[in-house]
Amino acid sequence: MNLLIQNARIATEDNPKLLAGDVLIEDGIIRKIGMGIKASEGCRVIDAKERILMPGMFDAHVHFREPGFEAKENIATGSEAAINGGITGVVMMPNTVPAIDSATVVGQVLATAAKNSRIPVYTSGCVTMGRKGKELAGIDGMRALGVKMLTDDGDTTADAAVLFRAMQYAGEMGMFFASHCEVPELAGPRALNEGAMSYRLGIQGSPACAEEIIIDRDIRLAHATGAHIHIQHVSSKIGMETIRWWKQRGDVKVTAEVAPHHLIFCEDDIGDYDTHYKMNPPLRTKADNAALLEGLIDGTFDLIATDHAPHTPFEKSLDFVSAPNGITGLDSALVSLYHYFVATGAFGWDLIVKRFAAEPRRMMGLPVPAIKEGSAADLLLFNTSGETTFTREFMKSKSQNTPFLDKTLKGSVDLVMLGEDVLLDRI
């Protein structure tokens, strides 16, 4: 489809100001950017007044549950949820059944994705066989199929010696490690943060130090081996400050991510055992929210990732301790970031583009899309005057375990385009 987007306000990662202009897209390529561009015959014209044009987002931390837990999500529904939220590429986590720990499973996952997804789907691979923390996974075979990220996400690689050996081995192959940071003996039942809310609800809490100890341990292992370590879903102030300290040293390659829910919600939101607010790492305090936001703005966090973790309504209807951890995020991430932060002036669109579109792709060694002449179209239009109500019918994920269920937020994703294909159109 040939498309002329008129009166666009263009967001880029390196300029806090929005650029004004018309954008002509022909045969999936951005051909011209300027003022007063004329449409050729048969070209669709969109007036982008009140809308922001930006590159498609990229989520480097999603759980699509396939193979093994397709009742919660599968690659087809997960990728449609991504499109619904303006996300045009994702990286799957390997805590499936069977675990993604060999070239065989990687090949099956990528084949399913190629058949069932309209966006690029990449997968991480396990550090250890079955994520059991004992024997190294089939790392070289996974590397040969394009796997770059190794993680036992869902759990920490508990044995430091095993992780140390993996870093020595795979670091030389250009692979990197993503760490779910948690001392299981300290974390306990993983239900919620240890603090005022856990005491009020009478549930054993998970102290922040259970996360912070492993953040420091895994960065130290990366420092010793020369590996690249990526710290996943950081939830606490001290965790953020630990990462900042190591980055300031300058002698270890460490990146880190923060999830929208750890910026927006805190333990107070749990109320009377609302399992939509149960996740791991748990929601912590308002002071932690403020520190994480500071870390996102100052660059301690390199990227935003949703940790999209779908569960069935039945599972989330169990009692608070028994219900699984997790929150869906693909449908809602971009709108919620706009509602709570961009619309309030906490940060601008340039940070969104940098942390949620550009840096995740750079970490994965992928081309970074941009709104510039000659680039392939990989973009979205965001309506700042619109609203989004997150009903079950609106969301494309097979599961809707989110605090945003049936709530209305400012902003809407109106158009998503990838190459010649318009993947979503609400205009």
Cα separation, 75 vs 298, in Å, equals 34
| Burial status of residue 135 (CB atoms within 10 A of its CB: 0-12, 13-18, 19 or more) | exposed
Active site residue 307: yes
Structure tokens at 254: 């460490």
Our CA angle for 134, 150, 396, nearest 5°, is: 115
Q: Which long-range contacts (CB under 8 A, 24 or more apart) does 135-138 make?
A: 136/162, 136/165, 136/166, 136/169, 137/101, 137/102, 138/101, 138/102, 138/103
DSSP code of residue 343: T
Residue ranges of alpha helices (H) inside 303-387 are 313-316, 333-337, 349-353, 359-363
How far is 19 from 427, CA to CA, in rounded Å?
21
CA of 398: how far to CAs of 65, 119, 331, in Å?
A: 11, 17, 11
Q: How many CB atoms lie within 10 A of CB 256?
A: 29
Q: What's the gap between Cα 130 and its chain centre?
A: 23
One-letter amino acid for residue 84 of the chain: N
Nearest C-alpha neighbor of 5 from the set 28, 29, 39: 39
CA 375 to chain CA centroid, nearest Å: 24
Residue type, 170: A
Buried b (16+ CB within 10 A) or exposed e, 273-298: eebbbbbbbbbbbeebbebbbebbee
- 129 and 103 Cβ atoms separated by less than 8 Å: no
Residue 401 tokens, joined: 């375990």
Q: Kindly state the tokens that stand for 85.
A: 């939220």
Handedness of CA 100, 362, 255, 404 (dihedral sign): negative
Out of 101, 307, 378, 414, which one is annotated catalytic?
307
Q: Hey, what amino acid is at 233?
A: H
What residues act catalytically? 307
